[in-house]
Amino acid sequence: MKTALIIPHYYKERRANVSKIVHSVKEWVTKPDEIIVFNNDPHSVLQIMGATVINAGRNFGSMARYAAGLISGVEICVFQDDDLLLGTAAFFHLTETVQKYPLAIVGMLGSDFEPGKTYREKKNVRTNSNEADCNFVLGRVSAMSREVLADVFPFIMRRPELVAAVCNHEDIPASLSRGEVKNKVIPIDFKELDPAGVGLEKKPAHYELRDKILKAYMEL
């Protein structure tokens, strides 16, 4: 199966991170057939040796990662944010798990939402050697088959009541689009890179908005 590593890039302050990530792929146990960097900063032009770079004319929000996956034509897409560095075996474990569970979204972080409990309280990181079921997988690191991706994108676009929120929080509704299919959380070795003082997670309303999205979807 052909695979792609897709890195969404939003902030020029993190440009050095992107180069580190692409360079690190040389050390991976399993390497992607294609590396795609989606540069969502319309004020800068990015060129990275060893990667296909899409320089956007405007900020398309974080859903751009899924659009890049759809046009890639590969069977499995792995999405990685530009503020972390995956371990040498992480890509292998992600793609292997997708092949094992082709209808699920696979990721590093996950949670089972319950009314009355905020997202931040329920965040968990898998540390043992087994995959686990979860309702939603967060977008920092996630992987899915192109078949699933082709279902996810239109599902998100059919939710006009959450269009503004979904633009930067597509990972939650994407996971819930799977219906009765349980997504998978697996342990992944990674290293945090410099966030450069920017990012949605630095804004107080970030987690409040996630909770609102989850509540809205639970009530559908």
**pLDDT category of residue 195 using cuts at 50, 70 and 90:** confident
pLDDT of residue 164: 60
Strand partners, 4: 34, 77
- CA 97, chain centre distance (Å): 15
At 27, list the tokens: 């050390």
At 94, list the tokens: 């992600």
Superfamily grouping for domain 3-218: Spore Coat Polysaccharide Biosynthesis Protein SpsA; Chain A (3.90.550.10)
Q: What is the mean pLDDT of residues 186-211?
A: 74
| Residue listed under structure tokens 């795609």 | 36
**pLDDT per position as a tens digit, 63-85:** 778 888 888 889 999 999 888 89
Half-sphere exposure of 73 (CA within 13 A, CB side): 2
**Which range has the top average pLDDT, 60-69, 81-90, 188-197?**
81-90
**pLDDT per position as a tens digit, 125-159:** 555 668 888 877 877 899 999 999 988 877 777 76
